[in-house]
Amino acid sequence: MSTATSFEQQLTQWRHGLHRHPETGFEEAHTSDFVTQVLSELGMEVHRGIGKTGLVASLTLGSGRGVIGLRAEMDALNIAEDATARPYASQIAGKSHACGHDGHMTMILGAAQLLCERRDFDGTVRFIFQPAEEHGRGAKAMIDDGLFERFPVDEIYGVHNMPGMPAGHIATRVGGIMASEDNFTIHVKGRGTHAARPHMGVDPIVIAAQIVLALQTIVSRTLDPGVPAVISCTEILTDGIRNAIPGNVIIKGDTRSYTPEVQALLEKRMREISEGLCALNGAQCTFEYTHEFAPTVNWESCVPTVVEAATRIVGAERVEANIQPMMISEDFGAFLRVVPGAFAFIGNGDGSGDGRGSTPLHNAHYDFNDDVLVTGARYFAEIARLRLPRLAQ
């Protein structure tokens, strides 16, 4: 068996082991144990309990002062996996790695193994495993727990797999690459009544319908058409029954944007519309708006490293250096507010060939494409080797 084949099989084995035991935010105990075991066997000291279940391991060679951070997220989702024929399917009821964080962790572990074996850089590489990305809490928890004071880095790099992009292609851009996410809850308080006598009450369903439609005019009629933003109402809850108009309706959802100014404008206009329509119809309104994810904004100084590392690993024809910004969110943006760095997407598959990797993220049938593992591991290792001088042999 060739060394390359055995490395690929090792990564696949690690990934499948992580996939079987998905854990959600701040509950990643088994996952932390697994990652710690692998890193310890590679000879590294692992520091645990950073941001609750987060951990950091460092590899230092030579006397160089440069420090590069490579980050993976550890948490899974509360989605029941629909893959009974998959031999490594989730063994935890109602939870699965439906976003591919098992693959991201494996790529960083693979990079750690490559760098430990080659030992051809002068400086320090920190392998950062972050909890609770899915709800935007983990990066902040690690930062608040002194991550960069205890384990300083000059730059930090991360990736996310992307279904719909050809497997192994790598894409990035200077500036905003992923949006912020803000959550909102609108509580419309009317007066319930019998469905046959609507004139006796204040119907919050009709008012909520007006609010949902009116919110969609904010992006189309308040913002410059060239400014990206999304307002999505995703839940409507009532306390009514089939023959009774409810007294309360709750509308939940989120917004996506790229700048604090747009975030503030969305919040202001949403509040005005919600409270105004409730007042117009004789109802009361409670409006809540919270900031969950910062936008992910790549540092201009770090993007050339991503492009060069990707080009060396997959070839220039498979690298996109100016991808269109996406409205998805990732809490890697919190790190980039503190230290320089850059984020990239790695293609999980576009449905061509064997069709693997194109199932959307957060889907019960989703699975990370194992064919991408070696590419990702080599890419991360190459970033470290690019940014840290070669160690004299």
Question: What residues form the annotated binding site for Mn(2+)?
Answer: 99, 101, 134, 160, 362
Taking the C-alpha atoms of residue 377 and residue 3, their distance in angstroms, rounded to an integer, is 15
Q: Tokens representing 155?
A: 């730059």
Chain centroid to Cα 212, Å, comes to 27
CA dist 89 → 93, 96, 192 (Å): 11, 8, 46
Taking the C-alpha atoms of residue 232 and residue 158, their distance in angstroms, rounded to an integer, is 27
Longest Cα–Cα distance in the chain: 87
- Residue positions in the annotated binding site? 99, 101, 134, 160, 362
Say if residue 283 is exposed, middle or buried (CB neighbours under 10 Å; 0-12, 13-18, 19+): buried
Taking the C-alpha atoms of residue 321 and residue 270, their distance in angstroms, rounded to an integer, is 35
The residue among 130, 120, 123, 35 whose CA lies nearest residue 75 is 130
